[in-house]
Amino acid sequence: MGAGASVDDVAQGIRSCGEAYGAYADRAVALGVDGGYLAAHSDTLGELEASGDHRRVLEGKLAKAEKRLLRRAEMQRRRAIEDALAIVDEDVQQYGLTWEKIRGAEKADLVRLAAVVDALPLVPGCDRQPSLEDAPDPRDSEYLLILNEAFEAVDDRLLEDAARLAADVGLEFKAGPPKKDSRAMEKARLAYGNDYSRLKDLRRASVVCGTVQSATGFVEKAAGGLRICRAKNRFRLDYDASQSGGFRAGARVPRKVSACILIL
């Protein structure tokens, strides 16, 4: 069979050796399409016919093609991980440089921001979602489906108050995408002992502040217009940013609204 033969030609030739070779032909097509191995070795039939041991030679060829395909996939996976880690390292370095500039130029404002966040009137007893009708045990993944449905029912008005408050102080409000189920399940498992009722950020949004002073102004505005469930301030001077991959933000989760507002 000539060097220009297609994978299908090779497969058809393999089938012509006898009915017992049909499974090998199917594997050859699959490997040829994915890995291109048999397409590049279209003289396989000639080797088979000359060897007198068709099954052994064909198994060897297919096993080598399968191993090469798996090795190529593993190399691609490792390369993707290395690329992602390189991006993370670059981001962390950039965050660190930006933080040093802010700490040097706006230290007094950072101290005031910390004082304002520490004084926020947090609503007690809201470490879990309110009761949901017909909901199973919060540790059952079915609970996450019902919780998402509850969020979807109010998606059109969920972030209205936060967006209005941002507009009142002249800041940009950005609604983010819903948290993916895979990430919500991971967070529930790692942070909350598989208790899905403790998830509070299935919907997220950001308020972009150009200065620490403007961030403080928004926090003060939010304190008078939202019921705050939880507060985090990663702009504290004593915060260890290695705990969050170098990322710093102030986050507040309003009760019921359940939006995570990041101050960048």
**pLDDT tens track for 168-217:** 989 999 888 889 999 999 999 999 999 999 998 888 888 888 888 998 99
> How confident is the model at residue 123, as a pLDDT?
84
Query: What are the residue ranges spanned by the domains of the chain?
Result: 1-105, 106-263
| Segment (H or E) for 231 | strand 228-233
Mean pLDDT of 132-140: 88
Q: Which residue in 228, 261, 259 sits closest to 126, CA to CA?
A: 228
User: DSSP character for 134?
Assistant: T
Structure tokens at 202: 């299935």
The residues, ordered by sequence, that sit 6+ positions from 257 with a Cβ below 8 Å of its Cβ are 158, 159, 161, 162, 226, 227
Task: Write down the residue that tokens 């009137």 correspond to.
Answer: 121
**pLDDT tens track for 40-96:** 454 554 555 445 555 666 667 777 777 888 888 888 888 888 877 777 667 667 767
pTM above 0.75, yes or no: no
Cβ-based burial of 218 (10 A; exposed 0-12, middle 13-18, buried ≥19) = buried
> How confident is the model at residue 138, as a pLDDT?
92
CB of 161 closer than 8 Å to CB of 105: no
Give the count of beta carbons closer than 10 Å to the beta carbon of residue 90. Answer: 10
> How confident is the model at residue 80, as a pLDDT?
81
Q: What is the largest CA-CA distance in the chain?
A: 87
Packing angle, helices 44-51 and 7-16, rounded to 10? 20
Phi then psi dihedrals of residue 235, to 5 deg? -95, 5
**pLDDT tens track for 97-106:** 777 787 788 8
* Residue 261: band (very low, low, confident or very high) from pLDDT cuts 50, 70, 90: very low
Could you tell me the fold of the domain covering 106-263? Beta Polymerase; domain 2 (3.30.460)
> How confident is the model at residue 137, as a pLDDT?
92
> How confident is the model at residue 2, as a pLDDT?
43
Residue 19 has pLDDT above 70, yes or no: no
**pLDDT tens track for 7-17:** 566 556 555 65
Phi then psi dihedrals of residue 263, to 5 deg? -100, 110
* Residue 258: band (very low, low, confident or very high) from pLDDT cuts 50, 70, 90: very low
